[in-house]
Amino acid sequence: MTDEDLETRTLHTREVATDSEHLEGLAASDGEPTYDVMNPWGEDGPAPVGQWRTDILGPAYQSQTIELIADAEGDNVATLVKYLPHRDPDVSENAKAFPKSVTLYLHGRNDYFFQTELAQTFAEAGSAFYALDLRKYGRSLRPWQTIGYTDNLNVYDEEIGEALDIIAEENPNLPLILSGHSTGGLIATLWAHRHPGAFDALILNSAWLEMHTLANLRTTVAPVLERIAQRNPRWEVPGGGGPGFYGRSLTQGWATSGLTVPQACADNPDDPAMKGWEYALAWKRPESYPIPAAWLDAILDGHNTVENDVHLSCPVLSMMSTSSYTGEEWSERVFSSDVVLDVEVIAERSMNLADCVTIARFPGKHDLFLSDPDVRTNVRHTMKRWIGAFVTPVE
């Protein structure tokens, strides 16, 4: 229903959520696993406030903590990550030239920034790259917080604004690209809508712009969900069991899948798509975690805004898979389809985001940058060509 680990809920939402009386009467489940959310930082702990320090991704990345206004759960922070291509031996030389633009990237739900090829791609396109781990996600998650919780997507204006101030100070007078994956794509789209003219381009990777059945499901569920959220904001929205194929495909890769390995992966045995992606499971969890009613209500409100109000002045590149897969059988399609969202819905909503919209589709996963190597290569080439065509450097 949502991003990454919410695949298990996505595939069954239609059966559960369309029955409004059933939705209002169900109880939340329990028994969720617990994680040490500070463990991925290691002995050094979180990045300092207002000061760059080498990030957990290695010497080519730096991060700093941004202090935010506290809420009912306590203190909040966000974390800004900066890519330093001149310290990366695996990136092309043209990525180390003086940038012609600058990019801010927003991750999805059950996610954080770890996709280093994404940073390399923007750098090779001449764009300085920054990623923001939003409050209560990834590097910004603290032990007293409910992972990913908010009841209003506008709350992210604070950290996005703070991040942009830092970026502008380091990269004055450069065109700005806003980019986002899945729920981060929705947040980015809504932010661009509320701040017309602030960005020069929007690049989306499987942006969660609508529910599976367009507005039909949303208009049925939203009134019931709103009532529940008002009475009990943290009530867990049920979503069914689901097979958990997305997380399995990411952590295990093709090598232990028991499936016929495509030649592109067989030729690259050390590629993460083959051997499994490495990331912090405390920050990007293999199983679903609860979906609070107030959070989903905020998401549906965002979808309504996208449908009825959003029309951006900047060019948009919206990328997604060529197919969705909702089957119950573990198969090769898990590795070449979006098993989280309905890509036809994403494509339809994307077309109305602006006057200038480019739709690009690839036989890849929900996060295209976690797909097979040949797919990732095509995604990277497409992005670089598009940035070269639509993001004009300052003369």
DSSP reduced 3-state for 157: helix
| Residue 219 pLDDT grade (very low, low, confident, very high; cuts 50, 70, 90) | confident
- Flag whether pLDDT at 7 surpasses 80: no
Kindly report the CA angle at 290 between 288 and 291, in degrees rounded to 5? 105
Instruction: Choose the weakest-confidence range: 164-178, 213-227, 246-260, 307-321.
Output: 213-227
* 4-389 fold: Rossmann fold (3.40.50)
Q: Are 138 and 283 in contact (CB under 8 A)?
A: yes
| Residue 290 pLDDT grade (very low, low, confident, very high; cuts 50, 70, 90) | confident
Q: Say if strands 74-83 and 101-106 run parallel, antiparallel, or are unpaired.
A: unpaired
| Residue 16 pLDDT grade (very low, low, confident, very high; cuts 50, 70, 90) | very low
Mean pLDDT of 165-169: 98
Distance from chain centroid for Cα 173:
27
What residue spans define the domains of the chain?
A: 4-389
- Flag whether pLDDT at 45 surpasses 90: yes
Task: Name the residue with higher pLDDT: 103 or 17.
Answer: 103
Determine the pLDDT at residue 340: 92
| Residue 157 pLDDT grade (very low, low, confident, very high; cuts 50, 70, 90) | very high
Share of the chain above pLDDT 70, in %: 88
**Cα(218)–Cα(240) distance, rounded to whole angstroms?**
18
List CB contacts of 372: < 8 A, sequence separation 6 or more: 262, 264, 265, 271, 273, 335, 336, 364
Contacts 24+ apart (CB under 8 A), 275-280: 276/250, 276/251, 276/252, 277/250, 277/251, 277/253, 277/370, 279/112, 279/114, 279/250, 280/39, 280/40, 280/56, 280/112, 280/114, 280/138
Determine the pLDDT at residue 106: 99
Determine the pLDDT at residue 24: 37
Determine the pLDDT at residue 244: 86
| Residue 135 pLDDT grade (very low, low, confident, very high; cuts 50, 70, 90) | very high
Mean pLDDT of 305-318: 98
Instruction: Choose the weakest-confidence range: 32-46, 68-82, 229-243, 371-385.
Output: 229-243
**Cα(338)–Cα(335) distance, rounded to whole angstroms?**
8
DSSP reduced 3-state for 13: helix
- Flag whether pLDDT at 18 surpasses 50: no
Mean pLDDT of 30-34: 60
- Flag whether pLDDT at 239 surpasses 70: no
| Residue 395 pLDDT grade (very low, low, confident, very high; cuts 50, 70, 90) | low
Question: Does the pTM exceed 0.75?
Answer: yes
Determine the pLDDT at residue 243: 75
| Residue 215 pLDDT grade (very low, low, confident, very high; cuts 50, 70, 90) | low
Token reading at 227? 């009532």
List CB contacts of 230: < 8 A, sequence separation 6 or more: none
Mean pLDDT taken over the chain:
90
Amino acid at 276: G
276 to 65, 317, 371: CA distances (angstroms)? 29, 28, 11
- Flag whether pLDDT at 296 surpasses 70: yes
- Flag whether pLDDT at 117 surpasses 90: yes
* Closest alpha carbon to 336 in 317, 321, 353, 358: 321
Mean pLDDT of 224-234: 92
Alpha helices in 98-154 (DSSP H): 116-124
Determine the pLDDT at residue 289: 83
Please give the order of strands across the beta sheet that includes 53-55: 53-55, 58-71, 74-83, 127-133, 101-106, 176-181, 201-205, 316-321, 357-362
Task: Name the residue with higher pLDDT: 353 or 17.
Answer: 353
